[in-house]
Structure formats: C-alpha cells, structure tokens
A and B are shown apart, each in its own frame.
Chain A
Amino acid sequence: MSFEEFQNRARLFVVGALDPDEMAEFEGARREFGEKAEAFIVECYSLSEAFALSLKPAKASDQIKARLMEMVKNRQTH
C-alpha cells in the first residue's frame, strides 16, 4: 500500500467507515509506516471533531450533570 492509499484509508478509519476486511491491511500499513502513519492518523481526527462541531449544540437536562457528579462522588468515597 502506498502512503497516499494509507492516507485515504486513515480518513475512513477515523470516521468508522473502514470495512472489517480492510482493517487488517490498514493495520499492517500502519505498522509499516510507523510514526509517519501515527502522526497522520492524529491529524485525521480533525474530521470527526469537525462533524461533531458542525452540529448545533444541544442542551442536556440539568439533572444529567447532577446525577453524573453524584455517581463520581460515590465512586470516590467507596
């Protein structure tokens, strides 16, 4: 696999669109290209961030945070 092909696959990988049969080949190329591959994958996460940021924020119910913090507090005391 060329690095350009790897880049295409990496973009599919971060948005969860890589088919299972492509995954093994992708992981092999990832090992082969090493640090260069890892650095590119990190950059690709800007895609999934952007898809989330393209949405209008939604306000969660006020109870959610209270319940969450209560659960965390309980864990810390046990």
Chain B
Amino acid sequence: MEGIQREDSEALSHLYDRYNGILKALVLRVIHNEAEADDLLQEIFMEIWNQAKNFSAQRGKPLGWMVTLARRRAIDGLRKKQAYARAEERLQHETEQQPDAWVHNSTEEEILDGDRRVLIRRVIGMLPPAQQQAIELAFFRGMSQREIAAKTNTPLGTVKTRLELGLKKIYDGLKELRDEL
C-alpha cells in the first residue's frame, strides 16, 4: 500500500494479483453478473490507486479498506443499474455464487486462504438462519434495517436484534480464530 501511495504502478500490479479474486467474488456476490463485475473491478482498482493517499494503516488493514470501498461501489452499481429485480431472479436460481474458478495448481497462499475460508464459514454457519439472512441482506445487498424488515416481513426491532446478535457472535468467533488465521 505504501508503494501505491508513492504512485508505484508495480505495487498496484502486486496488489491486484493478490486481491483481485477476493474483491471480484465480493462484487459478483452483490451484482450477480460476470461482465459487470469485471468492469466494476477495474473501476475499484482505479479508485484504490486514486484514493490510496487517504488510507492510513492506523485506521485498519488494507484489506478492510478495500473491501469497504469495493462493497460500496458494487452496491452503488447495483442501484444505478436498477438491477435488483434481475439479481433477485438470478439469486433464486443460484445456491452458490461462484463458477469453479481457480482451475490451476494451488499455491501455498491459496491453500491457506482456502483454510481460512472454511474457518470463517464455520463461524458464520453457527448462526441461526434468520441472523445469517439479516447479515446477508445488509452486507451483500446493501439493505437498510427497514428494507430488511419489509422484505422479510419481520418487525424492525427483531431485525435490529438479529443483526446485533449475529454480528457480535461472528466478531467473537473471529477473535477466537485469530490465532489460527
């Protein structure tokens, strides 16, 4: 990240190689369209390049900053294209968002990433389905608590409780996992 702040394009190239898979998966999960996800990914890395000066290591890790930026761009993109209806249709037919990408020999780093993914999914999977759904709608669909309440026909207070409890459990679970991660 320091390299990008110094406008070293080689540093951006390394950052892209390391994180494009994670950020594209996130964007794809939000908008459910390969071509749009690729276009957004390019815009996101350009924004990372342009906004790198605003990143401060004291305020968090680069990945957290990039995920926040990518999620916001993806949700903005979804709203701009008014793709909610189309995405919902696709969502109903998709149980898992990803085609089998990464068809090549795994590097050590990818294997570690895979292990980490299993551990994180285990933590999330321990939540009751209603809490998982509330978090999914908030994080990957960008829905407000009121929108979640309306969509799931649930009182607003219950949605709030589900989000708070679910996020706390995941936060605590991640803390326990930190040594393994």
Q: Taking beta carbons and an 8 Å cutoff, which residues of A are in contact with B? A: 7-8, 11-12, 14-17, 19-20, 38, 42-61, 63-65, 67-69, 71-73, 76
Contact = CB atoms under 8 A, between A and B. Distances in A.
A58 B25 contact: yes
Contacts of A69: 9, 12-13
Interface of B: 7, 9, 12-13, 16-17, 20-26, 28-29, 37-38, 41-42, 45-46, 49, 58-61, 63-65, 67-68, 70-72, 75, 96-99, 101-102, 110, 113, 116-117, 120-121, 123-124, 135, 138-140, 142, 144-146, 163-164, 167-168, 170-171, 174
Contact of B42 (A17, A42, A57, A64): A64
Among A51, A65, A76, find the residue whose CB has the most chain B CB atoms closer than 10 A.
Answer: A51
B107 to A, nearest CB: 12
A46 B61 CA distance: 9
A58 to B, nearest CB: 4
Contacts of B65: 45
Q: Is the interface of B mostly helix, strand, loop or mixed?
A: helix
Given A16-B138, A67-B42, A59 B101 contact: yes
Contacts of B71: 16, 48, 52
A60 B38 contact: yes
